[in-house]
Amino acid sequence: MFGQTEGLLGEDLDLRELQRTGRIGRIQIVIKSEGGSSKGEIVIPVSLNKTATAILAAALETVDRVGPCTAKVTLQKLEDIRGAKRRKVVSRAISILKGWEEEISPGTDEITGAVTKASRRAIEKYGPDKLPAGHSLTEESEIIIVEGRADVINLGRCGITNTVAVEGTHISKSIADLTRDKSKTVIAFLDGDRGGDLILRELMQMARVDYIARAPEGKEVENLTRREITKALQTRIPADQALALVSDRRTAMTSKRKKPPRRTRREPRRASERETHRPAVPTRSRVVKRSAPEIDEVYLAKVNEIKESFRAALFDDKKQIIVECGVAELAKTLEKQDSVAAIVFDGVVTQRLVDTALKKSTSLLIGAAIADIETRPKGMQIITFDGLQ
């Protein structure tokens, strides 16, 4: 075949030259013999334009011998392989698109059902206190502590399921036990209001917290968007720095409240007028803090000393200091004592602390703030720093 077409069409369409340059691929020949004659099929892949391909096909039909035998070559068909591939691609694409519309793309009801199911799965119960928690709380290397169930649900919608809620300012034993594992990073994600400040102080007393993330000022975690949640968690700060910021803000607010009233200039009275208009009740009696409880100077001095220091002091019945410790160690330190007459500390007075102090015969509790206390024992004074002013 190569020999019989050689020189017939010139160098540009010579079979050997075309094969050498890759414009003709591997020639496939299949021969079948039957009744003393042989028939075969020749398949020649080419990469030529339509005109050159037609000329080459016509030239092959001029072949009249194969070796010593007489032969006849007839063109059966010319096929555009790229066109066949394009048809196959179009057919497959239609099939894929149809399957996508029927199987992959969910309807509104399906989407709603999937979200509802995911939200239900995101809420589980953790520990003896059955706190609302995300389903991956114990599986992740980070633990995110939030304030309430709604916060757990909102974070779950954003794919954050390593969460647990404290459910109020009372920090349960389940939270304290959970944060003891030092191989996990503990993040408290709190609302941007005063309630968040109180929970922050209580958390630092009862649990181990590494970082603090806060919602924007005046906002709650349960109402944040995905972008706001991501930004808040990315801009978290170490817990001790967060406490310092809360303390600075609280100090500034206290100073603002203490700002003295503006004085007006008055003409001095004559001696006779002062005697005539002397008030029946001494002026000093009206300046005395009528609502403030009478607290021994020893305790008042200790309040001024430990304020904004996150420390605690335990006193005996002789008003002598038994021991001083950090607020975070107050509960453990109190448990070790036989009896404690008074406690002064820069932290939040909680129901748990009140119950423990009652067992130690404590009659006076002075703290920076008071959480939700359901039971106040008779005979125990519970006072805040502001209540002493």
**R_g of the chain computed on alpha carbons:** 44
Report d(CA 298, CA 358) in Å as an integer.
22
Say what the pLDDT of residue 188 is: 92
Q: Which long-range contacts (CB under 8 A, 24 or more apart) does 107-116 make?
A: 115/157
Q: Kindly state the average pLDDT of the residues 311-317.
A: 92
Which ranges of 15-168 would DSSP assign to H, the alpha helix?
15-20, 50-60, 81-99, 108-122, 149-157
Question: Concatenated DSSP letters for 20-44?
Answer: HTTSB---EEEEEEETTEEEEEEE-
pLDDT tens digit string along 212-228?
Answer: 999 998 899 999 999 99
Percent of all residues in the chain with a pLDDT value above 70, rounded to a whole number: 77
CA dihedral angle for residue 138, residue 143, residue 148, residue 153, rounded to 10 degrees: -70
Q: For the domain covering 111-250, report its CATH number.
A: 3.40.1360.10
* In this structure, CATH architecture of domain 295-388: 3-Layer(aba) Sandwich (3.40)
The DSSP line for 327-363 is GGGHHHHHHH-S--SEEEESSEE-HHHHHHHHHTT--
Residue range(s) of every CATH 3.40.140.20 domain in the chain: 295-388
Range list for CATH 3.40.1360.10 in the chain: 111-250
For 321-348, the pLDDT digits (tens) are 999 988 878 888 999 999 999 999 988 8
The pTM for the full model equals 0.45
